Structure 1
């Protein structure tokens, strides 16, 4: 019997509600509700399910009269502060002989849920509710390490798709040995093929210990474990516990003040993570000063009395909503600061096996399966490391577009890392489409032009006018890498699109040694229909700008790439005229009316409309054009328009 201090207290005696179902919570039972769904082909006991929206105010009132509502409300009290004041639905997911799950559709509680369940071996007080797997209270417990080791061993022994052929390893690895008595030092390769772990983590304000040209020789002799930040110490312990004698940590294995070394290692990032025996994903720490081994919150104990007054003890705990979505072919999505970082996307996509240390449990993924401490194994699901392992050619461009759209949501500390931080994915993707190095155009591909040019700002996400704007050149305007806007592709690869342009040439000039990294210039020369138009920014800020094409009285909505501003330019005869340009870091939104732009007809669809780009003359390259945004309109707007050659930079 639980300790009395662990049990959620009640202030009144339970009323007897009989067998009738509560109109608010349906007695936390999936049966007997109009919205219940049945699965006759289910392989498990979950043959019935119900996703029930519950109003917070109604639940607050009902908890005094319904013992089931009270159980739900007490669990919410424990984990979701002020839930009853939030005007958002509580979603209660019910099944048969499974835990009751509850979440709140509000940004404050995004991607969090609570589970109400019985302890294993304890009889359920009502048929719908069941037991849940026990999760150790500490991520460095023997049970958690045993879980991780089982996952890795099963993968190595059973999954042929996860057996990666030897490739170019990192230049350096940390030797950590097998126990705490082993000295730590930096080893320079080549050696024979080594088994190593790689760390994926948030830098925060930067690790307190790094490798530089000045201390490289000392690092090769000895690194003091006690001088390492807490996160690095935990990573060393994990590697040792899993029997892995080498560890790759970017801050220590890349010479941080050597540009050439950084470019060499960033260009090899695909192999660094692909060849690691396991990637350690520190999901929750925001910096290297925080521990991976943060203690987990204990489940609470709830007291439930039936109509005869018999007492049963239930448990409740908070979990991240990380499970893969089989219906939408979406992989597991652990939640924490790490998952918002741009560099991390390729670390997780390119690795073979990954162990996510989340706030509430361990989540393991390889190219074949996903496992977690709360649910054991998810088979037949898409996994993050498996997304690029086998990409059908027919789906390749859709995959690339989804990756870049997801990448655009993530944050970079150093803006110039935009292309290097995805270069490993690009390098891997090149083999999927059998392309050459030169086919890559700073985030786009020659083989996918012009469809690849049809990225646009996403109206359902951050407004492009509020995103970070660059003070220096990073990429040509035709690529999404030139802005920090959150983007989307509205056309799928199997859509019946007809190109209305002829690509004459396309190339980028690389800034460094990484053929998929930083660029100093890029240009696409093409031939297509180009007509004049005028662009307006509304007086009250809205997402879209208004475009009016020549000889038309109607306006068309434009999705701007970023904040657009008006500036004065000198023409050929030294006369001044207004033009639209992308805004700089110090510019603020200001309305403007009917300023001249150019509109390029890029593709036609079978639905009788065209999609294209809004352009303006480049302030950097004489005679060339730069991109401002995207539009769609009817074919008739371009009827009779002549084709001309232009350079897009």
Structure 2
């Protein structure tokens, strides 16, 4: 499909078609951008291979070629036949501005290039995202539209005035939506320090001070620039912080904060005494306040170590990736990656510690390799696209939900479940940090949902106030069942029922879409062995209706069946226990499993009748020794006459968690289960 040509004044047809191939010369880009092309009527451009071949002579084909090369599709997937991919172009609206009772003011269109075949189904293209071509802001007047949501020319260094404008717009227009949602009436604890970028000293945070927090990747040992017991006194004096000893990320962050006119910044390597365990513990348990109360968090997502610079903070620290082509008198450019795509390529987003640093912050300024992004709870801004209108955009390609928006729900457990799923997909250098790096999140949950004492609400990363839900976690099937190392060569002594004890990603059992359902709890009371060896009743919220199995469990009777001291973290409760046979679902043998899978679906079989009858499903490690030594312990009931069951291995009266599943209630009752006090280690 093509349009009749419309001649713009001052341009001849020859000038319109200069540096265009025969296919692109037939298109009227002015009219396409003015009136739009629906996706169902997309205009064919030819094969991707032919477009790449013509890129040296056609300015529009060159824009497509630059996108393909920037995303490394050909290098990373050399076997893809580009001649099989037929490309098409259509348009989408940039967005519209809400104007009260008046019709929305539209802000122009952008070009989308897509294709059939591999473009739609191959991971190389789906990961890269759609090819979007924008009109530059200087040409917006040609269409009678404002410059909003058009391309902006970027400089080699970040425009400080633009960043200030982003922060000011958020402050003036978003109100409480982008202020601290955790503890509005709290200040930083007295023991928290900040860097005074004017006096260049590490000082106690002044009461009520406005400060910036830094989130970055350490990338290894940094003893040469850390604050320690030996240098803390010197660094507390004006001028005591020597910039020459600090790595690039930290020096650039200090410089950037100073240019913004701010005075204080919190940087963990400088504000925490790294060789003082007492100081570290107290500071790490205040991370919810440090990041939650910060004016904004500066996120260094453009480097792999603390020694890398902030791209664009200083001259020659970034290479601009925006290339502009003139097509029929219009200035067009390929949009840089969205914030989501840019962060997905960073080392920063793979680290566990950075999860809570971003999730708990109300405002974030991301330094990526491509450009700087500003993000708050209401809007996203970036250097490459003009989007600073004071009004709210009803439809903008810049706005989308944050991956680690927190809390993600008005439900405390749903927010917890979402955080666990995102957090456990990240990596740790020191495995024993798994709970500490999550403490800011759990403290924030306690504050937001008023869960009481953090030490009683959460232990080992588990949400004890909603234990009947929290126990329903499951390993990702590609995760080996390996205990986490808590010390040099020593596996975790933490309890098996806590996800933090095990390496790898965690997911939660669901009924429906992202919904863990507990219709009726069967556990009367939950107890735990504390660090002193005492047995403590947990504050677990009951889910009505409630069915007691055998009356209140008396703590006096608990240790009678155990012939050795109970370790801290042992979970104690009364339930029923029974034995079932299991078989791999689909009749597959363990040897036939995918090498990437470490867990599989097993059928639970009742042997009351012959042949054995399928009565439920359980997810277990692909290890026959563990599986054959297990039994199933009923924990709670699913809606629809199903029970959640936990597969456990038992030794000397103690049980360990092996897997999780569901079973038909009738089959459980028919198996004549025995009532049992469970000591789950």
CA distance in 2 between counterparts of 1:365 and 1:528 reads 48
Q: Which residue of 1 aligns with 2:447?
A: 431
Q: Which residue of 1 aligns with 2:664?
A: 634
Q: Which residue of 1 aligns with 2:554?
A: none
- Kindly provide the CA deviation profile for residues 305-360 of structure 1, in whole angstroms up to 9, marking residues without a partner as x: xxxxx56553235323539xxxxxxxx96752111111111111222322111222
Aligned partner of 1:546 among 602, 618, 622 = 602
1:635 CA drift (Å) = 3.1
1:372 CA drift (Å) = 2.8
Contact 1:322–1:334 (CA under 8 A) maintained in structure 2: yes
- The alignment status of 1:284 with 2:302, answered yes or no, reads yes
Q: Could you say what secondary structure the match of 2:570 adopts?
A: strand
- The alignment status of 1:603 with 2:636, answered yes or no, reads yes
Q: Could you say what secondary structure the match of 1:449 adopts?
A: helix
CA distance in 2 between counterparts of 1:124 and 1:65 reads 31
- The alignment status of 1:110 with 2:127, answered yes or no, reads yes
Aligned partner of 2:91 among 85, 94, 97 = 94
1:419 CA drift (Å) = 0.8
CA distance in 2 between counterparts of 1:557 and 1:623 reads 25
- Kindly provide the CA deviation profile for residues 283-326 of structure 1, in whole angstroms up to 9, marking residues without a partner as x: 1211101011231424223354xxxxx56553235323539xxx
Q: Could you say what secondary structure the match of 2:236 adopts?
A: helix
Q: Which residue of 1 aligns with 2:420?
A: 404
Q: Could you say what secondary structure the match of 1:322 adopts?
A: helix
- The alignment status of 1:646 with 2:652, answered yes or no, reads no
Q: Could you say what secondary structure the match of 2:441 adopts?
A: helix
* Match runs of 1:7-22 below 5 Å: 14=22
Q: Which residue of 2 aligns with 1:133?
A: 151
CA distance in 2 between counterparts of 1:343 and 1:468 reads 20
Q: Give RMSD over aligned pairs.
A: 4.1
CA distance in 2 between counterparts of 1:354 and 1:150 reads 14
Distance 1:487 1:147, change over 3 A: same
Q: Which residue of 2 aligns with 1:357?
A: 367
- The alignment status of 1:149 with 2:181, answered yes or no, reads no
Q: Which residue of 2 aligns with 1:59?
A: 48
CA distance in 2 between counterparts of 1:595 and 1:386 reads 40
- The alignment status of 1:258 with 2:288, answered yes or no, reads no
- Kindly provide the CA deviation profile for residues 58-96 of structure 1, in whole angstroms up to 9, marking residues without a partner as x: 422466799798356423344233448464988977314
Contact 1:274–1:350 (CA under 8 A) maintained in structure 2: yes
Q: Which residue of 2 aligns with 1:366?
A: 376
CA distance in 2 between counterparts of 1:196 and 1:406 reads 27
Contact 1:556–1:632 (CA under 8 A) maintained in structure 2: yes
- Kindly provide the CA deviation profile for residues 584-631 of structure 1, in whole angstroms up to 9, marking residues without a partner as x: xxxxxxxxxx7231112233333443332111125xxx4121111112
Unaligned runs of 5+ in 2: 1-16, 94-107, 312-316, 533-566, 584-588
Q: Which residue of 1 aligns with 2:215?
A: 200
Q: Which residue of 2 aligns with 1:452?
A: 470
CA distance in 2 between counterparts of 1:298 and 1:112 reads 17
CA distance in 2 between counterparts of 1:616 and 1:288 reads 45
Distance 1:32 1:635, change over 3 A: same
CA distance in 2 between counterparts of 1:371 and 1:99 reads 17
Distance 1:389 1:465, change over 3 A: closer
- Kindly provide the CA deviation profile for residues 134-163 of structure 1, in whole angstroms up to 9, marking residues without a partner as x: 15233x43x2x2222122223334413416
1:425 CA drift (Å) = 1.1
Contact 2:355–2:404 (CA under 8 A) maintained in structure 1: no
Q: Which residue of 1 aligns with 2:502?
A: 483
Q: Could you say what secondary structure the match of 2:265 adopts?
A: strand
Q: Which has the higher helix share?
A: 2
1:238 CA drift (Å) = 1.3
* TM-score w.r.t. length of structure 2: 0.71
Q: Which residue of 1 aligns with 2:8?
A: none
Q: Could you say what secondary structure the match of 1:137 adopts?
A: coil
Q: Could you say what secondary structure the match of 1:465 adopts?
A: coil
Aligned length: 555
Distance 1:565 1:112, change over 3 A: same
Deviates more, 1:550-559 or 1:403-412: 550-559
* Match runs of 1:486-635 below 5 Å: 486-491=505-510, 497-499=518-520, 501-507=522-528, 509=530, 521-534=568-581, 538-542=590-594, 543=597, 544=600, 546=602, 548-551=604-607, 552=612, 554=614, 558-560=618-620, 565=623, 580=626, 595-617=628-650, 622-635=652-665
Distance 1:345 1:297, change over 3 A: same
1:114 CA drift (Å) = 4.7
- The alignment status of 1:217 with 2:277, answered yes or no, reads no
Distance 1:244 1:59, change over 3 A: same
Distance 1:358 1:508, change over 3 A: farther
CA distance in 2 between counterparts of 1:509 and 1:291 reads 46
Distance 1:65 1:352, change over 3 A: closer
Q: Could you say what secondary structure the match of 2:443 adopts?
A: helix
Contact 2:462–2:470 (CA under 8 A) maintained in structure 1: yes
CA distance in 1 between counterparts of 2:657 and 2:605 reads 16
Unaligned runs of 5+ in 1: 1-8, 37-49, 305-309, 324-331, 512-519, 567-578, 581-593
CA distance in 1 between counterparts of 2:403 and 2:261 reads 22
Q: Could you say what secondary structure the match of 1:464 adopts?
A: coil
* Match runs of 1:304-453 below 5 Å: 304=327, 312-322=330-340, 335-375=345-385, 376=387, 387-388=405-406, 392=410, 395-437=411-453, 438-453=456-471
Q: Could you say what secondary structure the match of 2:235 adopts?
A: helix
